[in-house]
Structure 1
Amino acid sequence: MTVTDRRWRVAAMPDEQLDSSHFELVPADRPEVSDGEVGCRVLWISIDAAQRAWFQGVSYRGALNIGDTMPAFCIGQVVESRSDDFAPGDIVTGHLGWQDYGVVDAEELTGIEVKAPLSRYLSVLGITGITAYFGLFDVGDVKSGETVVVSGAAGATGSLVGQMAKLRGCRVVGICGSAEKQEWLTSKLGFDAAVNYRDENFRTALKEACPDGIDVFFDNVGGTTLDTALGRMAYRGRVVCCGVVSQYDTTTPSRGARGVPGVLIGKSITMRGFLYTDYSDRFDEALQALQGWIEQGSLTVAEDILEGLEKAPEGLIGVLNGTNVGKRMIHVADPS
């Protein structure tokens, strides 16, 4: 067969921090499409910090091995179909991976009725927006007038969570990693305050920003940030465990938050993890709400786009180091 595809493969397993040497971009033949399968051209690739955790394996995905194509959730366009569910030209989402062309079972794809820029279906109208919506409103059970603190606040999910909490009538404090991001959160997204976890006075700054304690802590980071926030929780506060980006890029993650469960018992705190798929039967509810806020102009969509398949490793390494603002993704190609 003619070489028509490029794909990023795992070249080595990281001992500690991920770097570009752990990947290799290789030419490959397009795989044939068998009965029940669909061949897709990859248009957009979602870059998520959790992809680093896939090297060790997580509960919903087996560990990666050397030689594997790097997996990722993507937007694609059908170019060949041996399924009655899809036809060439259809726009779909699914786990197509870091490559130009992917073949998957038809049941693993979801068709998109395109009504917005395609990138939106990886950010606010995709997994990111759905995660923020249900994490805040269902897991966090947020109420008007409460204080909501978001870690990783300038990231994909955190930036949406903070804005939605403001729409609910909450006081919102963001935790981020630079003065520039603090300014962006308060001046552009409307957060009431933002604190820098890298500052020596982080603990004091968080206390000053939350004088009455934290009612809902939406955590994307874990580690010492979670430890610090637990110390500021209000009575019957809720901790939403969405991600642990501080623990992904290492083979020796910390053992967990200090003082648990004692600190939870002392203030009747609820601490709960979740997956967006827990709410698969209610996706339409979230998407209708998100689309409504966008149309009203009350929700700012922040997308951090890198051009070209070649940028995929750089994109992931950057997310792990906090260089992104908003949802990072790779633009690979335009639909034909």
Structure 2
Amino acid sequence: MSGTVNRQILLVEKPSGKLGPEHFKMVEGAVPEPKDGEALLRVRYISLDAANRAWMHGATYRSAVEANSVMAGGGIAEVVSSKAPGLAAGDIVFGDTGWQDYAAVPAKHLNKMPKLEPLTHLLSVFGIAGLTAYFGLLEIGKPKEGETVVVSAAAGSVGSIVGQIAKIKGCRVVGIAGGADKCNWLMSELGFDAAVDYKDGATFKALRAAAPKGIDVYFDNVGGDILEACIPQMTNFGRIACCGAVSQYDGAPSPHGPRGVPGLIVVKRLIMQGFIVMDFAKQYDRALTDLQGWVKSGKLKVQEDVIDGLANTPKALIGLLAGENRGKRMVKL
């Protein structure tokens, strides 16, 4: 790999308010040499996720991203060379590659992926987004046929898949999204029964109209005001799957949780559970079999938002946090 440059995007400063382009810079370095037990990867696609922003605040389920380091992020990559058993040149893997052209990563931190086209599906429906939707809804939410399922950030990478799986399972599905265009798309293209535009400002009232019998399962991607609007409308013994809290990540002026909640949780006997997809690693094969079957049969539509070029990664994440994307956003290198 001599003579090849490794472009990297660094997080130069942790933002105290909203994330901006000034918090990043691109540098050029040498392509790393893999050590024993590592593989040298050429990154093909970088996954963009709201969690990228949360990592800048401090340690979560992974260590914090520190200033003046390569911005962390998952990616689909091709093995260039390997000093680890079980990985060979040409293999396709998923791992925390960071925002760069090349990465040397310990093989134990990589997941070998099937070679399928398009590769983008390995980041969306057959990747973290699809698996998060699958386990969060089916294992935590436990929807039954005929129940009402509400999902927030419904036009995003996870939410758009959650709603479709809930429809496959025979539920009435209500999506919460920002803007009339996204709401129309959820109903006309993805088959949601109703959609609520939170930008209208009357979320509670619109939800009541869309889910007149109450909410049996709420899949929460945003926290904050929308979670606060959903909890009073939960049915007795309702389930809330807490996947993320994007409303709190990007410099929210005064992030708050839902008010008046503890009493409602008791009275309604609600189950409210957080999860991360790695909790279900031993069951990935079962989930992928289902997801692949649903995509093949046309029951599950895949929506992807692919941005070209490593240099556009910061702008693409900032846009994701502002809700620009439909479906899974990623950057092609």
TM-score bin (small chain): over 0.9
The whole-number CA distance in structure 1 between the counterparts of 2:91 and 2:177 is: 39
2:316 maps to: 315
Alpha-carbon contact 1:3-1:27 (below 8 Å) kept = no
1:76 maps to: 77
1:272 maps to: 273
2:17 maps to: 16
Q: 1:208: Cα distance to partner?
A: 0.5
SS in 1 for 2:70: coil
Alpha-carbon contact 2:231-2:261 (below 8 Å) kept = no
2:196 maps to: 195
The whole-number CA distance in structure 1 between the counterparts of 2:253 and 2:92 is: 40
Alpha-carbon contact 1:3-1:28 (below 8 Å) kept = no
Alpha-carbon contact 2:149-2:171 (below 8 Å) kept = yes
Q: 1:212: Cα distance to partner?
A: 0.6
Aligned residue identity for 1:285: R
Residue identity over aligned pairs, in percent, reads 48
Q: Which runs of 5+ in 2 are unaligned?
A: none
The whole-number CA distance in structure 2 between the counterparts of 1:42 and 1:259 is: 46
Alpha-carbon contact 2:203-2:226 (below 8 Å) kept = no
Alpha-carbon contact 1:239-1:269 (below 8 Å) kept = yes
The whole-number CA distance in structure 2 between the counterparts of 1:136 and 1:44 is: 26
Aligned residue identity for 1:83: A
Aligned residue identity for 2:204: R
1:133 maps to: 134
The whole-number CA distance in structure 1 between the counterparts of 2:201 and 2:239 is: 26
2:228 maps to: 227
1:35 maps to: 36
SS in 2 for 1:198: helix
Range moving further from structure 2, 308-317 or 151-160: 308-317
TM-score (norm 2): 0.97
2:122 maps to: 121
Q: 1:202: Cα distance to partner?
A: 2.1
TM-score (norm 1): 0.96
User: 5 Å matches for 1:174-323?
Assistant: 174-250=175-251, 254-323=255-324
Alpha-carbon contact 1:163-1:299 (below 8 Å) kept = yes
Q: 1:233: Cα distance to partner?
A: 0.8
The whole-number CA distance in structure 2 between the counterparts of 1:58 and 1:193 is: 37
Could you list the structure 1 runs, at least 4 aligned residues long, displaced by more than 2 angstroms after superposition.
251-255
Q: 1:254: Cα distance to partner?
A: 2.2
Q: Which runs of 5+ in 1 are unaligned?
A: none
Aligned residue identity for 1:120: H
Q: 1:110: Cα distance to partner?
A: 1.5
